[in-house]
Structure 1
Amino acid sequence: MDVKRVKDYLYWLYYQYQLVTCSYVLEPWEQSMFHTITVTVLAMVVYTAYVFVPIHVRLALQFFSQIFGPQPEEPSSITNRH
């Protein structure tokens, strides 16, 4: 891909974003406020997912391992016991 195609693709994505959010009808100062709020909310969602999702996944795994009991050992370690 050359630089012009990448640039055109990014412009197209931004145009699609403006069409979907209807921000093209806003005045420039309203657009900047809207984009600032949108980026801030998106950043907070990404940060929250980064911080809290692993904790919740770990807790869910602990919860389900308590419900279903400990996992069985591998067959090779069971047969080698004497």
Structure 2
Amino acid sequence: MDVKNLKDYLHWLYYQYLLITSIYVLEPWEQTLFNTVLFTMVAMVIYTSYVFVPIHVRLALKFFSGLCGGQQESTVALIS
């Protein structure tokens, strides 16, 4: 794929984004504000998913393995 086709394709994708979100009717400063808020929210969702989802998955697996008869951690301290 050459550069001109890539540029046209990206322009087409951006145009589709404008049409789907209906922000083509906004003024340029309103479009910038909308895009900033939207991309900030997307970035926060991605960051939150990266940080907190693995913790919750690990805790859920630990909980369900206990329900399904998995080995429980011993609460008795070993004395050497």
DSSP 3-state at the match of 1:70: coil
- Aligned CA RMSD, in angstroms, stands at 1.2
- In the alignment, structure 2 segments of 5+ residues that lack a partner are 72-80
Identical aligned residues as a percent: 69
Amino acid of the structure 2 residue aligned with 1:63: F
Give the Cα separation in 2 of the matches to 1:56 and 1:8.
42
Name whichever structure is richer in helix by fraction. Answer: 1
Amino acid of the structure 2 residue aligned with 1:13: L
Q: Which TM-score applies when normalising by structure 1?
A: 0.81
Q: For this pair of structures, how many residues does the alignment match?
A: 71
Tell whether 2:21 aligns with 1:50.
Answer: no
Q: Which TM-score applies when normalising by structure 2?
A: 0.83
- In the alignment, structure 1 segments of 5+ residues that lack a partner are 72-82
Give the Cα separation in 2 of the matches to 1:40 and 1:20.
19
